[in-house]
């Protein structure tokens, strides 16, 4: 591989959408941010200069960061934030990965404006396991907020209530014609007839899983979270925040004199308020030069719109998810851990915290909204966990005693317990190097069942099982798929159900795991694993870089 240099200047930029102009934090003045393109085996040196007032940090979502946890990015987990006026160079090598990922701000709700595609091409000479596409197009979903999202979440955390929601969804930063004042802000995908396009779909939205479809066109799913899958055809994609999906779009063989919409809107299982609007982009066939139509005379009518599932269509979601299988070929095997060293059972869900003195709280029964893993609502420290671990200064920063089961066991999908309170803590689950882990994550219905897109840093995992109701340790493991389960970094824990994943803890460091719905992360649905060094020199975390930010 080669070394590629990028320069990210974090600066304010005025951006207008929905006829509303605001100054926001951007990378190089762009919204969405610049595209990073590299090849498997390349080393990336990304110099980040912070020219804004906010503390910032950037995460390379889905990059394994083998032994290079210092470059992973989550603030107060692997690094102190980059303060105003400071610089940090993210330095890592892409080992054994190719496909679509993305990068995003990883402090508070910075991700709302600071995100962009991270595309890893196969090594020179390596083929895709499908015919080479004519063109590749990143399609990154996001949100537009008229308000400042960072102010929205800090206000919600102070008053204990649910935060406001976004004003629009966006495709490559553009809301499209179904919103007020947005017709000229429409993403247009111009295509030629009879070609195959590789669409690299990325859900960078803060708080919503999305359905996506292109009218009158079938999509072939070929990759999820930068891992090839067994190809399958579908008209509609489900993609949670934190997930990426590559699809092949085969265009019609002859020029059709019509315009097709592509649309996305949320899949929602919870009860809170959400943005239920629809983003639309346009698929437009180029007028063939030899055609009777001259480009100027073409009126592209009629307009075809896709039909998306109902907002709460869990049966669609379940069926779609079931179709995702690892390619599991000779060239791209599925290395599913067959034996397990440690089994864990984690519950995830919403709960409450007591209202602080002298405060009126707008959460349930005058409490504050909270969220937890095994009833621990994770509190970020004021220094970085990885630093504290590496320098032997964990005292007062974290404790290595993450509970192995929920503190209040109950029927997770039946009647909620009377006590909805969570405990706050900064507790890590410690694993020795190369532990083979099986983790069952159960959604609780303490404050309503809800699907949680759970994201693990530092690893891909295999989704060996998932179903509804309470996980049954005596019966369910018999049905686990240990042959070709999908391998990914973000999985939707089904609303009122559970998911079982396996991974090999072969990457020393501190690795964040959290719900990729940003509001749930803010409420505490997060925890961290500490994977200890192995014995051999190449099994140890690398030393921290000299420019690692200080708190
Ligand atoms: Cu994409 Cu910890 O995040």
Same-domain check for residues 210 and 282: yes
Question: Domain for residue 544, yes or no?
Answer: no
Specify the residue for token string 């409450």. 352
Can you tell me the distance from the alpha carbon of 201 to that of 191, in angstroms, rounded to the nearest whole number? Answer: 17
Same-domain check for residues 237 and 160: yes
Same-domain check for residues 110 and 148: no
> Which is it for strands 219-224 and 368-373: parallel, antiparallel or unpaired?
unpaired
Question: Domain for residue 108, yes or no?
Answer: yes
Can you tell me the distance from the alpha carbon of 218 to that of 220, in angstroms, rounded to the nearest whole number? Answer: 7
Distances from the Cα of 122 to the Cα of 40, 162, 335, 367, 386, angstroms: 6, 43, 19, 51, 31
Note every long-range contact of 535-541, with CB atoms under 8 Å and residues 24 or more positions apart, other chains counting: 535/433, 538/67, 539/433, 539/434, 539/508, 540/67, 540/508, 541/67, 541/69, 541/390, 541/508, 541/509
Nearest CA to ligand 1 atom 3: 61
| Residue 249 near residue 292 (C-beta atoms within 8 A) | no
Same-domain check for residues 388 and 487: yes
Same-domain check for residues 105 and 143: no
Same-domain check for residues 382 and 423: yes
Question: Quick one: pLDDT at residue 514?
Answer: 98
Same-domain check for residues 143 and 262: yes
Q: pTM value?
A: 0.97
| Residue 251 near residue 193 (C-beta atoms within 8 A) | yes
Q: Which ligand 1 atom is the nearest neighbour of the CA of 111?
A: 1
Q: Which ligand 1 atom is the nearest neighbour of the CA of 62?
A: 1
Question: Quick one: pLDDT at residue 48?
Answer: 98
> Is the sign of the CA dihedral 14, 20, 25, 30 positive or negative?
negative
236 Cα: distance to centroid of ligand 1 (angstroms): 25
241 Cα: distance to centroid of ligand 1 (angstroms): 9
Nearest CA to ligand 1 atom 1: 61
How many Cα neighbours within 13 Å face the side chain of 297?
6
How many domains is the chain partitioned into structurally? 3
Domain boundary among 106, 126, 146: 126
Ligand 1: does its nearest atom lie under 6 Å from the Cβ of 61? yes
| Residue 106 near residue 127 (C-beta atoms within 8 A) | no
Within 8 A by CB and 6+ apart from 431, the residues are 342, 437, 505, 529, 530, 531, 532
Residue segments in the chain with a per-residue pLDDT below the cut of 70: 290-301
475 Cα: distance to centroid of ligand 1 (angstroms): 33
Question: Domain for residue 172, yes or no?
Answer: yes
Task: Determine how many CB atoms are found less than 10 A away from the CB of residue 252.
Answer: 15
Ligand 1: does its nearest atom lie under 6 Å from the Cβ of 242? yes
What are the strands of the beta sheet with 87-93, ordered from one edge? Answer: 20-27, 3-17, 43-50, 87-93
> Which is it for strands 509-515 and 227-234: parallel, antiparallel or unpaired?
unpaired
Residue 315 backbone phi and psi in degrees, to 5: -70, -35
Same-domain check for residues 85 and 230: no
Question: Domain for residue 215, yes or no?
Answer: yes
Specify the residue for token string 């317990």. 417
Q: Which ligand 1 atom is the nearest neighbour of the CA of 514?
A: 2
Ligand 1: does its nearest atom lie under 6 Å from the Cβ of 512? yes
Same-domain check for residues 287 and 139: yes
Can you tell me the distance from the alpha carbon of 537 to that of 417, in angstroms, rounded to the nearest whole number? Answer: 49
The end-to-end CA distance of the chain, in Å, is: 34
| Residue 488 near residue 225 (C-beta atoms within 8 A) | yes
Domain boundary among 126, 160, 185: 126
**What distance lies between CA 207 and its chain's CA centroid?**
10
Question: Quick one: pLDDT at residue 297?
Answer: 57
Question: Domain for residue 267, yes or no?
Answer: yes
Within 8 A by CB and 6+ apart from 487, the residues are 225, 227, 326, 334, 460, 461, 462, 463
Task: Name the 3-class secondary structure at 539.
Answer: helix
What are the strands of the beta sheet with 452-456, ordered from one edge? Answer: 428-431, 526-531, 509-515, 452-456, 490-493
Q: Which ligand 1 atom is the nearest neighbour of the CA of 457?
A: 2
Parent domain of 414: 342-539
Domain boundary among 326, 350, 379: 326
Question: Quick one: pLDDT at residue 430?
Answer: 98
Of 186, 215, 436, 202, the C-alpha closest to 336 is 436
Distances from the Cα of 537 to the Cα of 121, 186, 421, 473, 540, angstroms: 30, 52, 44, 38, 6
Same-domain check for residues 277 and 384: no
3 Cα: distance to centroid of ligand 1 (angstroms): 24
> Which is it for strands 87-93 and 58-61: parallel, antiparallel or unpaired?
unpaired
Question: Domain for residue 483, yes or no?
Answer: yes
Question: Domain for residue 65, yes or no?
Answer: yes
The DSSP string of 56-100 is B-EEEET---TT-GGGS--BTTTB--B-TT-EEEEEEE--S--EE
**What distance lies between CA 160 and its chain's CA centroid?**
25
DSSP letter (8 states) at residue 496: T
Question: Quick one: pLDDT at residue 359?
Answer: 81
Distances from the Cα of 508 to the Cα of 221, 264, 461, angstroms: 33, 38, 16
Question: Quick one: pLDDT at residue 292?
Answer: 63
Same-domain check for residues 164 and 99: no
Question: Quick one: pLDDT at residue 300?
Answer: 63
Question: Domain for residue 103, yes or no?
Answer: yes
Ligand 1: does its nearest atom lie under 6 Å from the Cβ of 455? yes
For residue 50, what is the domain's CATH number? 2.60.40.420
Same-domain check for residues 23 and 144: no
Question: Quick one: pLDDT at residue 291?
Answer: 61
> Which is it for strands 209-214 and 236-239: parallel, antiparallel or unpaired?
antiparallel
């Amino acid at each position: 591989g080669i070394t590629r240099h990028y320069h990210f200047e974090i600066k304010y930029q005025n951006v207008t959408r929905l006829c509303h102009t605001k100054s926001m934090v951007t990378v190089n003045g762009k919204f969405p941010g610049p595209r990073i393109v590299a090849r498997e085996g390349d080393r990336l040196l990304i110099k980040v200069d912070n020219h804004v007032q906010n503390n910032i940090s950037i995460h390379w979502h889905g990059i394994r960061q083998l032994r290079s946890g210092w470059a992973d990015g989550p603030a107060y987990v692997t690094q102190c934030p980059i303060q105003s006026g400071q610089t940090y160079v993210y330095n890592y090598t892409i080992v054994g990965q190719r496909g679509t990922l993305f990068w995003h701000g990883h402090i508070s709700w910075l991700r709302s404006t600071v995100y962009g595609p991270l595309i890893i091409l196969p090594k020179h000479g390596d083929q895709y396991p499908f015919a080479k596409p004519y063109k590749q197009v990143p399609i990154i979903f996001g949100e537009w907020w008229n308000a400042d999202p960072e102010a929205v979440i800090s206000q919600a955390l102070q008053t204990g209530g649910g935060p406001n929601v976004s004003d629009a969804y966006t495709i490559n930063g553009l809301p499209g014609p179904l919103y007020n004042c947005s017709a000229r802000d429409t993403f247009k995908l111009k295509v030629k007839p009879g070609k195959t396009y590789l669409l690299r779909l990325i859900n960078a939205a803060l708080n919503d899983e999305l359905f996506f479809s292109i009218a009158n066109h079938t999509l072939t799913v070929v990759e999820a979270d930068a891992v090839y899958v067994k190809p399958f055809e579908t008209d509609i994609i489900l993609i949670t925040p934190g997930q990426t999906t590559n699809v092949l779009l085969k265009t019609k063989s002859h020029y059709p004199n019509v315009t097709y919409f592509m649309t996305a809107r949320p899949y929602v299982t919870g009860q809170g308020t959400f943005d239920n609007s629809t983003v639309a982009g346009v698929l437009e066939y180029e007028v063939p030069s030899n055609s009777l139509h001259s480009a100027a005379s073409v009126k592209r009518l009629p307009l075809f719109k896709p039909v998306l599932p109902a907002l709460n269509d869990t049966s669609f979601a379940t069926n779609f998810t079931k179709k995702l299988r690892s390619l599991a070929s000779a060239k791209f095997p599925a290395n599913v851990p067959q034996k397990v060293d440690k089994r864990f059972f984690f519950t995830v869900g919403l709960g409450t915290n007591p209202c602080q003195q002298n405060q009126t709280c707008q959460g349930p029964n005058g409490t504050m909204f909270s969220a937890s893993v095994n009833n621990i609502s994770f509190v970020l420290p004021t220094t970085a966990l990885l630093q504290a671990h590496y320098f032997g200064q964990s005292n007062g920063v974290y404790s290595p005693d993450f509970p192995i089961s929920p503190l209040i066991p109950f029927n997770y999908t039946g009647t909620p317990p009377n006590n909805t309170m969570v405990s706050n803590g900064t507790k890590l689950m410690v694993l020795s190097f190369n532990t083979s882990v099986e983790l069952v994550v159960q959604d609780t219905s303490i404050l309503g069942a809800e699907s949680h897109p759970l994201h693990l840093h530092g690893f891909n995992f295999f989704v060996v099982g998932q179903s509804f109701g309470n996980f049954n340790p005596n019966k369910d493991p018999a049905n686990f798929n240990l042959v070709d389960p999908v391998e990914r970094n973000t999985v939707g824990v089904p609303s009122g159900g559970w998911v079982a994943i396996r991974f090999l803890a072969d990457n020393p460091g501190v690795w964040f795991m959290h719900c990729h719905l940003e509001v749930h992360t803010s409420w505490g649905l997060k925890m961290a694993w500490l994977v200890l060094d192995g014995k051999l020199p190449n099994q140890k975390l690398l030393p921290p870089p000299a420019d690692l930010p200080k708190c």
